[in-house]
Structure 1
Amino acid sequence: MQTVLIIEDEGDLAELVAFNLEREGLRTVTVQDGAAGLDEARRILPDLILLDLMLPGLHGTEVCKVLKKNERTSRIPVIMMTAKGEEIDKVVGFEVGADDYVVKPFSPRELVLRVKAVLRRTDSDSGDAGTVMVGPLRIDPERHIVSVYEEEVVFTTTEFKLLFTLVQRLGRVQSRDVLLRDVWGYNYIDDTRTVDTHITRVRTKLGGAGDLIKTVRGFGYKMEDR
């Protein structure tokens, strides 16, 4: 049974979220502040973390940063929950390593869909493929490891899926809508700015190999070998 750690200080909301996830066959663990959330994440190593942005003590963005810098927790997918819906807040969430973002108030169905989509990405069958190389880039899909010039680079679950999707479709232009559907895993209720933000993150992490990802203006992106 997959486990979702809910880090949320609003007790009623946490209970509602837990109830709906448990109805879908997921195990939930709930904590109400950032520091306790970090401790619990390190202890149980959940399959996914639902993280409120505005937490007492330790802010949600700081929690996410710490999780992503720790080797044991860096690959746990994180969905941020927040009442803030401005574009800048979404960008900040993605910049600290969040895999997805849901704005309060949200419907339980929407949240369940997003949780399931992220868990599917984590459990995808990309591990059946062998190691892939494009220029200085090496991807081991079985272990979810990316190396650039022989140096390992840490990617979130969503960033890895986005990169691997582009590599698998080498030379083929992918529209933002197609990437939203295939990477995020369902009819994503958001604008295509999400794709642009993640592409920027992936390029930055790839460093000198970031120019392997080409922008096709007005349409989308493609990966090209040198």
Structure 2
Amino acid sequence: MARIVVADDDLDIRDLIEFKLTTLGHEIVAVSDGAAVLDACREQRPDLCVLDVTMPGMSGLDTVRLIRADLDLLDLPVLLLSARSLDKDVATGLGSGADDYLTKPFSPRELGTRVEALLAR
């Protein structure tokens, strides 16, 4: 079992992610914005972070950059979720420091596969 911080400002998507990852046996800390992600990561030191790119306030890209700048969180695996699917968007997401990038809409099965792969590293 892993502790995973999930951040998406869309409650339906956040609930879907939480449901899928919980059925895989993981403990989920669900939040709705980038600032809450940083707080949760610093307080709970998760095994993985799943972030929406477009959130109010601090974007997922900015959040990843701050995670990578924090020595205590530097090695935290991050999976970005986004409706932006162009090659340049994926490159920007990975260039921000994310370990993986999954486009919306996504299959819950693919989400689970990507999460398990990141946790296995």
Aligned position for 1:166: none
- Residue 47 of structure 2 aligns to which amino acid in structure 1? D
Instruction: Give the C-alpha shift of residue 96 in structure 1.
Output: 1.1
Instruction: Give the C-alpha shift of residue 68 in structure 1.
Output: 0.4
- Residue 84 of structure 1 aligns to which amino acid in structure 2? R
- Residue 56 of structure 2 aligns to which amino acid in structure 1? P
- Residue 27 of structure 2 aligns to which amino acid in structure 1? R
Which has the bigger relative contact order, CA under 8 A and spacing at least 6?
Answer: 2
- Residue 22 of structure 1 aligns to which amino acid in structure 2? T
Instruction: Give the C-alpha shift of residue 36 in structure 1.
Output: 1.0
Aligned position for 1:61: 61
Q: Which runs of 4+ in 1 moved over 3 A?
A: none
Matched residue of 1:80: which SS?
A: strand
Aligned position for 1:149: none
Distance 2:111 2:2 in 1: 16
Matched residue of 1:25: which SS?
A: coil
Distance 2:93 2:45 in 1: 21
Deviations 1:71-115 (A, max 9, x none): 011100000000000001111111111000000000000000000
Pairs aligned (count): 121
Matched residue of 1:101: which SS?
A: strand
Aligned position for 2:45: 45
Distance 2:74 2:104 in 1: 25
Instruction: Give the C-alpha shift of residue 54 in structure 1.
Output: 0.1
Aligned position for 2:20: 20
Distance 2:75 2:41 in 1: 12
Distance 1:2 1:75 in 2: 15
Matches for 1:1-226 after TM superposition, within 5 Å:
1-121=1-121
Identical aligned pairs, as a percentage?
Answer: 39
Unaligned runs of 5+ residues in structure 2 are none
Instruction: Give the TM-score of the pair, scaled to structure 1.
Output: 0.53
Bigger Rg, structure 1 or 2: 1
Distance 2:20 2:94 in 1: 25
Distance 2:87 2:62 in 1: 19
- Residue 85 of structure 2 aligns to which amino acid in structure 1? G
Unaligned runs of 5+ residues in structure 1 are 122-226
Instruction: Give the TM-score of the pair, scaled to structure 2.
Output: 0.98
- Residue 63 of structure 1 aligns to which amino acid in structure 2? T
Distance 1:52 1:104 in 2: 10
- Residue 24 of structure 1 aligns to which amino acid in structure 2? L
